[in-house]
Amino acid sequence: MQTQLLSYKRDGDKAIEKATSLLKKGEVVAIPTETVYGLAADATNSEAVQKIFEAKGRPSDNPLIVHLASKQQLQNYVLPYLPYVDLLMEAFSPGPITYVLKCKDVLAKEVTAGLDTVGIRFPSHPVGRAVLQASQLPLAAPSANLSGKPSPTEALHVWDDLSGRISAIIDGGASDVGLESTVVDCTGASPVILRQGKVTEADIAQIIPVQDKGKQIKTTEQPRSPGVKYKHYVPEVPLLLVNRPEQLQTVMQAEKAKGHRIGLLLSQDHDHLLKDATRVYHLGDTEAVQAQHLYALLRAMKKAEVDVVIAENVSMHSIGSAVMDRLRRAATRVYD
Ligand code: TXA
Ligand code: MG
């Protein structure tokens, strides 16, 4: 299959029309969102959704998020929910948050992987939204990477993973957030965060009415989000995550003694370490920039250049907590 690379900048609405017509025919198209690129198909069409799983090599027990253009479409797909869900939607949507809700029996069964819930998201990226609006379809879309690889934050990442396997990619520039959406289970008395993202536990706590706060907003460690149990974001070379800065030097010397070429993934200055490194990957100064850069850097770590990458921990403030979560999942070994 020849994958068409459409560009919103170059082709404007023509790119949206082309993508929409492919999606309506049951084809799979990668679209930009503000978090990461998504691999979209009509969520009501089983055959179309199956193509997503084939293209990604994704395990079929891992459900997909359904993307909608507007809240008006919501009641077509989900059962009645508690009032706090409306409050969260008013505060954070469109944007980088996914709500897990009880679903009606109208979506392709492959989307929910047999669960009675569905993850719903309203993306804010203008190009992703334009496709949703023009097609008026509910679009099932996981991140547009090969299963196990870091999520794509640029059209080129999607091309590297999936060219020849999908019908088209719309290039809409680099994703602004850089990490996948916060997934929130909204089926219980209070929200439970299943996957961390830009919208944090503290952000959500501000929205929930005071009388409900006693029930506590939680972030769960259990793999209640089926996808969380799989190995994710794996770079080509082993990644060692070092949580205490004073240990960086020791870990580096041990790797050097093995004759390894060392890459360093850093967010702070460590001038004394640089002489022993073959390559330094700069993650950036602020939490927001670190989130934007992380996946592109994980993809840039190549066997041809380094044998191992040693990463330092980052601030846990705001989206930093989600950056650390992804670093931990990407790591072969964590030094706590
Ligand atoms: O930002 C994002 O969420 C991106 C963009 C493209 O929207 N999408 C994305 O999809 O990251 P994916 O498939 O890579 O991750 C979806 C996560 C998985 O961990 C999956 O297990 C979880 O959401 N999920 C989906 N439906 C669920 C459900 N009904 N219950 C619990 N977890 C669910
Ligand atoms: Mg993914």
Q: Which residues pair with 7 in a beta bridge?
A: 171
Distance 228 CA to ligand 1 centre (A): 9
Question: Which is more confidently placed, 148 or 68?
Answer: 68
Q: How does pLDDT run across 283-312, given as a tens digit for each residue? A: 999 999 999 999 999 999 999 999 999 999
Distance 278 CA to ligand 1 centre (A): 36
**Where is 30: in which H helix or E strand?**
strand 29-31
Q: Whose CA is nearest to atom 27 of ligand 1?
A: 119
63 backbone dihedrals φ, ψ, rounded to 5°: -70, 160
Distance 183 CA to ligand 2 centre (A): 12
Cα distance between residue 192 and residue 190, in whole Å = 7
Q: How does pLDDT run across 15-60, given as a tens digit for each residue? A: 999 999 999 999 999 999 999 999 999 999 999 999 999 999 998 8
pLDDT band at residue 222 using 50, 70 and 90 as cut-offs: low
Greatest pairwise CA separation for the chain in angstroms: 61
Q: How does pLDDT run across 316-329, given as a tens digit for each residue? A: 999 999 999 999 99
- Please check the confidence at residue 218 and state whether its pLDDT lies above 90: no
Cα distance between residue 246 and residue 231, in whole Å = 28
Comparing CA positions, the residue from 252, 236, 55, 202 lying closest to residue 140 is 55
Please indicate, yes or no, whether the overall pTM of this predicted structure exceeds 0.85.
yes
Cα distance between residue 18 and residue 41, in whole Å = 14
Q: Whose CA is nearest to atom 29 of ligand 1?
A: 118
Comparing CA positions, the residue from 180, 144, 150 lying closest to residue 299 is 150
Q: Whose CA is nearest to atom 6 of ligand 1?
A: 38
Distance 271 CA to ligand 1 centre (A): 39
Written as one letter, the residue type at 70 is S
Comparing CA positions, the residue from 162, 317, 298, 155 lying closest to residue 234 is 298
Kindly tell me the burial class for residue 118, based on how many C-beta atoms sit within 10 Å of its own C-beta (0-12, 13-18, 19 or more): buried
Residue-by-residue DSSP string for 214-262: TT--EE--S--SGGGGS--S--SS-EEEESSGGGHHHHHHHHHHTT--E
Task: Spell out which residues line ligand 1, taking CB within 6 angstroms.
Answer: 33, 35-36, 38, 62-65, 98, 100, 112, 115, 117-119, 121, 141-143, 180-181, 183, 194-195, 225-228
The CA R_g of the chain, rounded to the nearest whole Å, is 20
pLDDT at residue 225, rounded to an integer: 60
% of the chain beyond a pLDDT of 70: 93
If one residue of 103, 115, 153, 183 were mutated to test the ligand 1 pocket, choosing by the most ligand atoms within 8 A of its CB, it would be 183
Whether the ω angle into residue 94 lies within 30 degrees of 0, i.e. cis, is: yes
Identify residues whose C-beta is under 5 A from ligand 2, the ion: 143
Ligand found nearest the CA of 30: 1
Cα distance between residue 63 and residue 167, in whole Å = 22
